[in-house]
Structure 1
Amino acid sequence: MEGILDNLKHVLSIDKGGMLTEIARFADNAERAIIETLQVDLGGEYDYSSVLIAGMGGSAVGGLLLSDWLLYSTKVPIQVSRGYHLPGWVDEKTLVYAVSYSGNTEETLSQYHEGRKRGCRIICFCSGGELEKLAKENGNPVVYFKKGIQPRAAIPFQFFSLAAVSKKVGLIEHTQYEEILETLEVTRILCDSMKLDAPTDENMGKQLANILKEYIPFIYAPRQFQAVAYRYSTQFNENSKSPAATNFFPEAFHNAVMAREGSEDLLCTNCVVVIKDPLEDERLSKKIGVSKDLMSEKFGRLVEVQAVGKTLLTRMMSALLIGDFASAYLGVLYGIDPGTTESIESLKASMKD
């Protein structure tokens, strides 16, 4: 049935910044990021025992996704640091990825300077700014992001650039890197099925947005989809201008499930979003099923998002893409441009005073 999200003229009148159009370029941007990054000269061999990814906001999400993807396959510890200072364990044997879309994120720049003092090998990821300037002055390789888009819309550049560099420095084995091929194929199909002119009846992004309207989303996912669930939460914050929260299984079995015992007036305003991995551990799947039954009895709504794909990376990115589209469509349903960042800009401006 045709709804407000199928009125292309209306959607475009709200999405003035073209967020939905940029999200629909996910697969193309991912492929571009890989091709361009593989051509970057990283300056010789890398000897490291740990990897630290420094970034904030949307520029940290690519690192969180990389860490989750490699969680059970790499013997090299990977940690994402979101703050002004590097963890105490970072030393000259740590490879640092300094990630800032603008190149001017003060927390990332602070960690960059600390990394240099500790003798770390540093690879910079940015679209320009102060980070580019420092990298050139100090001889650090630079991987460039596409300019002119919101940092959160640059996730295909951020993640796949990190993945390509990680392949070049030996962090990712060739067989695992091949997961990217299926990911590009599946996400291209999904982008086509959820783009602006794809009708609601066949559009998972629009359907999820319609379900979530007037609810506060609480997102749950298996451990290796923790970064995906976090991405949902931040995308609902930024694109939909909506509160959102997240937790992951099996941790949520030990705390979050207790929320169902709260006030009915409060719970009825929440929609539980469960991201399902079809290949998740059988023990986990059974507990998730029971948890869904318990939560659906009390919360306002419960909806399941099914990841698709044979490989872990494909399933992660398929689920992420559904959330990205849904968050932007939800912003449109609320009559708010998904691309605006007024509160963030106000906060940044106040820090300069």
Structure 2
Amino acid sequence: PVHVQRDYVLPAWWTPKWLVLSTSHSGNTEETLEATETALKAGATTVAISTGGMLAGLPELYPRCYLIPSIGGQPPRSAFGHIFSRQLGLLRHLGALPIPSKEADEGMLERLQVAMDGFDILKDPEGDIAQLAMCMVDRPIALLGPTELTPVLNRYRNQLNENAARFARVGVVPEMNHNESVAWGGVGDDRDPTGIDHVLLLLTWNGMHQRVQRRMDWMIAHAATDYAWKIEGEGDTLLESMLHLCILTDWISLALSFLHGKDPASIGPISALKAHLDSVD
């Protein structure tokens, strides 16, 4: 099993038998450092992925800590490929994930490059990406998708937050159908009055469970808003579909940032919070 922990502490059930993979682009993310040192002091084996910083120095202090160096010179958001490829490569090497043929990986990367070029809003400023972003400018944003696409949904929300300074709510199907569906309405008079104003984007891929697909089809058919669309990740595997969706949604977030006049590299509140944390115990 693989468990993702984004906190200062390790789970209560954790034991040093677990391999810890610590990722921090800068190497100075304080919660990552604290949790990593907790694991190392308990005798766990840890692999760090970082461009430098304090995290990259831990192998000099702990013999059970190993470093996979990454490439710096850009924000973590745009270094996603460098970070994720190292995580993926490690998990494949350890046998936690299957190793595809070289031809399969190369074919995937070629298709993703075509998608990257095709979604480029600088080359096509009036294309589908720009048109969708224009619909999102003055409307609340909701993102839905199946459980296996949760990482993509979360990344998309984070990209909208950071690149375009926009909020977005995330719902995971089928779980959200047990409660949030009432707020969306679609049958009878009960619904949140702001639902009609939302842009509703449902992220999909061709390997979804059939029942999840039917749930999402029903939601599209009964959506209170006129701005509801499916966005399908293309690819032969879940991995390729997820990466395809990440590329597509990254471009949408950038298009929206330009429409708002927001510099996507500007992260003033994050920098201010880090400065405050550095000034206090």
Both proteins in one fold, TM over 0.5: yes
Residue aligned with 1:189, SS? helix
Distance 2:166 2:33 in 1: 29
Distance 1:210 1:227 in 2: 25
Aligned sequence identity (%): 25
Q: AA paired with 1:293?
A: A
1:1-353 matched pairs, under 5 angstroms: 77-139=1-63, 140-175=65-100, 180-200=105-125, 203-260=127-184, 261-264=190-193, 266-295=194-223, 298-299=224-225, 301-353=227-279
Moved more, 242-251 or 173-182: 173-182
Partner residue in 2 for 1:68: none
Q: AA paired with 2:115?
A: L
Per-residue CA shift, 1:221-279, capped at 9, x if unaligned?
11110110111111110011001110111112112211123342x22432111012123
Sort the Cα spacing of 1:178 and 1:228 in 2 relative to 1 into closer, same or farther, 3 A.
Answer: farther
Sort the Cα spacing of 1:214 and 1:307 in 2 relative to 1 into closer, same or farther, 3 A.
Answer: same
Quote how far apart the aligned CAs of 1:197 are.
3.3
Quote how far apart the aligned CAs of 1:79 are.
0.6
Distance 1:133 1:174 in 2: 30
State TM-score, norm by structure 1: 0.73
Residue aligned with 1:148, SS? coil
Relative contact order, higher structure (CA 8 A, sep 6+): 1
Residue aligned with 1:152, SS? coil
Q: AA paired with 2:268?
A: E
Does the 8 Å CA contact 1:194/1:206 hold for their aligned counterparts?
Answer: no
Distance 1:269 1:335 in 2: 22
Sort the Cα spacing of 1:177 and 1:294 in 2 relative to 1 into closer, same or farther, 3 A.
Answer: farther
Partner residue in 2 for 1:20: none
Q: AA paired with 1:262?
A: R
Q: AA paired with 2:9?
A: H
State TM-score, norm by structure 2: 0.91
Does the 8 Å CA contact 2:121/2:251 hold for their aligned counterparts?
Answer: no
Q: AA paired with 1:281?
A: H
Per-residue CA shift, 1:140-199, capped at 9, x if unaligned?
221222212111221111211101011122212224897643431221011111224321
Residue aligned with 2:221, SS? helix
Per-residue CA shift, 1:35-78, capped at 9, x if unaligned?
xxxxxxxxxxxxxxxxxxxxxxxxxxxxxxxxxxxxxxxxxx10
Q: Could you say which structure has the higher helix fraction?
A: 1
Sort the Cα spacing of 1:176 and 1:216 in 2 relative to 1 into closer, same or farther, 3 A.
Answer: farther
Partner residue in 1 for 2:187: none
Does the 8 Å CA contact 2:20/2:45 hold for their aligned counterparts?
Answer: yes
Distance 2:17 2:131 in 1: 48
Does the 8 Å CA contact 1:182/1:311 hold for their aligned counterparts?
Answer: no
Quote how far apart the aligned CAs of 1:84 are.
0.4
Distance 1:177 1:125 in 2: 24
Quote how far apart the aligned CAs of 1:338 are.
0.8
Distance 2:238 2:232 in 1: 13
Distance 1:315 1:106 in 2: 32
Moved more, 169-178 or 342-351: 169-178
Structure 1: any 5+ residue segments left out of the alignment? Answer: 1-76
Aligned residues: 273
Per-residue CA shift, 1:186-225, capped at 9, x if unaligned?
2101111122432145x44323312212122110011110
Sort the Cα spacing of 1:333 and 1:218 in 2 relative to 1 into closer, same or farther, 3 A.
Answer: same
Per-residue CA shift, 1:17-46, capped at 9, x if unaligned?
xxxxxxxxxxxxxxxxxxxxxxxxxxxxxx
Does the 8 Å CA contact 2:121/2:130 hold for their aligned counterparts?
Answer: no
| RMSD over equivalenced CA pairs, Å | 1.8
Per-residue CA shift, 1:294-350, capped at 9, x if unaligned?
22xx23621221111111111111111111111011000000101111111111112
Does the 8 Å CA contact 1:183/1:313 hold for their aligned counterparts?
Answer: no
